[in-house]
Structure 1
Amino acid sequence: MSDEATMLSLRELDQHNQVPKGTSFRAFKRIEPQLTEGIDFVLIDPNSQKGQALLANGKAYSSSRVIILVTEQTYAAMQQAANL
């Protein structure tokens, strides 16, 4: 499993790329069929302790039903798929 400490949230990617909310999510959904959960990305329940910490630190959108963290390799694939 990938180390969550080195993973990036979709909100962080939106902010880094200075794009509207949801842009990174759409890029992620475009390549998701090629990805493996637990290796390329992880899903975190926003109500969990980890999810609450990410929300409190501004690393996730408060409206998130699930928080998605991606690896740098997944982010690179998202960039190619969506020109982020």
Structure 2
Amino acid sequence: MNEDARLTAWVRGRVQGVGFRWFTRANALEIGDLVGFALNLDDGRVQVVAEGPRDKCHRLLEWLRDGDTPGRVDGVTEIWATPRGGYDGFAIR
């Protein structure tokens, strides 16, 4: 059984001003069945929230950590939770 999950990830490194949020959205849409957003934080990190099937959330997390992302990812911290809903697609904020 592949239940839905909520992934919240904070991406550290040179991830602002390099198209990181746009590429994250494109990757989430390519994986499919994911909703949520990517948001620049004031401290230079990008916060990514994704809800959908747990295996697809894991695929997005793997891409954030090891994929061909723009900029430079120094590390990713994540937490898992129950989906809250209320998202219409995958947004750049």
The answer, yes or no, to whether TM exceeds 0.5 is: no
TM bin (shorter chain): 0.3 to 0.5
TM-score between the two structures when normalised by the length of structure 2: 0.36
User: Greater share of strand residues, 1 or 2?
Assistant: 2
